[in-house]
């Protein structure tokens, strides 16, 4: 059995840990509100962008269609973009995204597809580069950025477009976590290339033109040539904002659970310490009484 001094030290250590987890919980709760607002505000923009592309795509077909919309006509080569967290202490937030991505990658490899990988966030890089080093293309660290905007998403989008236009991939899929509530985040796979113009997970719907006929200047093709690369950056930014909100929600929940567990451990250790101390006092009293009677 541990000595009373060792038990006191352990109680003090757990109390110090509890203070840290409580502080992290409060910080995550403060940042969650701002991150949630940013993710919510980005959704209409991303959805409207997808809706505009969907309507423009109705008038574009055949060989003249932009490559980012029409695709290459093959699905043999896949580029998987996995966006996760830069930090830990957030429960299973990153693990859920990684599991979904690994399952999809395994299915593609089993089907004989050529798979390449881009990771966003240090946690995704640490887990996936070790498993798929030979398929690895690039990684992006977000820890140096104080806030998320198009300047963060644009280099990632540019790299994706560069790989696609070089003929190195046919399909690009983005994995991230969609924020639903403080206790619910859902891993999502979104196809970026070829652009999906149907209503999907983002809730994008076609714009109602009320029967009007529109002529475009420049043409639909020219507009799409500009919008499609920008749409990739917008969808990536929306995914990063969703990730940030989900990360802080998961971290707040994880730190709350850790704080409660630390409290339970402190109570248990304190009870054990008091019992041991009482037993030691009783033993000493018995020794004193027995010595007095012997005299």
pLDDT digit string, tens, across residues 214-243: 666 666 667 777 788 888 888 888 888 888
Q: Each residue of 71-117: pLDDT tens digit?
A: 788 888 999 999 888 887 887 888 889 989 999 999 999 989 898 99
The Cα 115–Cα 108 span in angstroms is 7
Side-chain half-sphere CA neighbours of 173 within 13 A: 17
For the entire predicted model, the pTM comes to 0.77
Contacts of 45 (CB under 8 A, 6+ apart): 234, 238
Q: Are 239 and 83 in contact (CB under 8 A)?
A: yes
Where do the H-state alpha helices sit in the chain? 4-57, 67-70, 93-110, 122-131, 150-165, 220-294
Contacts of 61 (CB under 8 A, 6+ apart): none
Q: Which of 20-24, 216-220, 233-237, 264-268 has the lowest mean pLDDT?
A: 216-220
256 C-beta neighbours (distance < 10 Å), count:
17
- Band (1; pLDDT cuts 50, 70, 90): low
Dihedral (C-alpha) 75, 235, 206, 229: value to the nearest 10 degrees?
-70
Distances (CA, A) of 254 to 213, 217, 229, 251: 54, 53, 37, 5
CA-closest candidate to residue 159, choices 140, 144, 143: 140
């Amino acid at each position: 059995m541990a000595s009373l001094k060792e038990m006191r030290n352990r109680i003090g250590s757990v109390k110090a840990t509890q203070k840290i987890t409580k502080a992290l919980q409060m910080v995550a709760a403060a940042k969650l509100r701002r991150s949630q607002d940013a993710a919510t505000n980005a959704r209409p923009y991303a959805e409207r962008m997808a809706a505009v592309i969907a309507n423009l795509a109705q008038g574009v077909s055949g060989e003249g269609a932009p490559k980012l919309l029409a695709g290459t006509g093959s699905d043999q080569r896949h580029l998987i973009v996995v966006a996760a967290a830069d930090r830990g202490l957030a429960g299973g937030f990153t693990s859920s995204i990684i599991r979904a991505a690994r399952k999809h990658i395994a299915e593609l490899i089993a089907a004989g597809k050529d798979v390449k990988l881009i990771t966003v966030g240090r946690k995704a890089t640490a887990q996936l580069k070790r498993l798929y080093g030979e398929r690895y293309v690039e990684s992006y660290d977000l820890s140096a950025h104080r806030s998320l905007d198009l300047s963060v998403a644009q280099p990632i989008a540019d790299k994706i477009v560069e790989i696609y236009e070089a003929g190195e991939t046919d399909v690009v899929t983005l994995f991230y976590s969609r924020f639903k509530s403080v206790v619910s985040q859902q891993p999502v796979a979104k196809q970026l290339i070829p652009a999906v113009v149907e209503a999907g997970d983002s809730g994008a719907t076609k714009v109602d033109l009320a029967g009007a006929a529109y002529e475009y200047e420049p043409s639909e093709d020219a507009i799409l040539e500009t919008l499609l690369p920008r749409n990739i950056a917008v969808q990536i930014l929306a995914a990063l904002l969703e990730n940030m909100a989900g990360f802080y929600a998961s971290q707040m929940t994880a730190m709350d659970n850790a704080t409660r567990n630390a409290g339970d451990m402190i109570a248990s250790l304190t009870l054990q310490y008091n019992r041991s101390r009482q037993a030691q006092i009783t033993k000493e009293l018995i020794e004193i009484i027995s010595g007095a009677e012997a005299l």
